[in-house]
Amino acid sequence: MAERNGSTARSNGHSANGHDSAFSIRHRGDGAGGPDLPVDWERLARATAHPARIAILEVMGMDGGRTLSPSDISLELQIPLSNTNYHVLELAKAGLIHLAHMRPVRGATEHFYRIPNPAPAAVPTRTEKRNAELEPATA
C-alpha cells in the first residue's frame, strides 16, 4: 500500500474502503512546503480529452488570460455555438475555467468565463538577485 494525503491507498488507485482517491501535489515554491493541491488525474484527462476543449483553453489563455462567452469563443474558433457551450460547461465542471460574470442580453443571460488565476510565483528580491550574480559558479 502507498500513502497518499496522509492515508493508505492501494496501488490500484482506490483507498482501503474501495473508493477512488485523488493524488495531492505539494506546492514547494518557497521551500516551506505549503498547502496540498489535490489533483484528480482522471477528471483532468477527461476534461482535456477533446480537441475543442484544448482549443478553448488556448483561446482563453491568450494575452495573459481573457474573459469570453461561449458566443465569443464560437466566433473565434468557427465551431457551432451548441458545441462550444457544451465544452465550456464541461471545462467549468472540471474547474479548469470559472464563471467570471453574467450579462442580460435580449431576454437571456450571457455567461462569461475565464481561466482561474494561478498562484503568483515567488519573485526574487533585489538582494537575492545581486547575491546570485556575485556568487562564483561552481563546476
Of residues 14 and 62, the one with the higher pLDDT is 62
Domain that holds residue 89: 53-117
Of 7-16, 29-38, 51-60, 61-70, minimum mean pLDDT range: 7-16
Look up the CATH number of the domain holding residue 95: 1.10.10.10
Q: Establish if 59 belongs to a structural domain.
A: yes
Q: Establish if 60 belongs to a structural domain.
A: yes
Q: Establish if 22 belongs to a structural domain.
A: no
Of 41-45, 63-67, 114-118, 127-131, minimum mean pLDDT range: 127-131
Query: For the chain, what's the residue count?
Result: 139
Model confidence at 79: pLDDT above 80? yes
Q: Establish if 134 belongs to a structural domain.
A: no
Of residues 36 and 104, the one with the higher pLDDT is 104
Domain total for the chain? 1
Burial 7-39, CB ≥16 within 10 A → b, else e: eebeeeeeeeeeeebeeeeeeeeeeeeeeeeee
Percent of the chain scored above 70 by pLDDT? 56
Model confidence at 72: pLDDT above 70? yes
pLDDT at residue number 9: 46
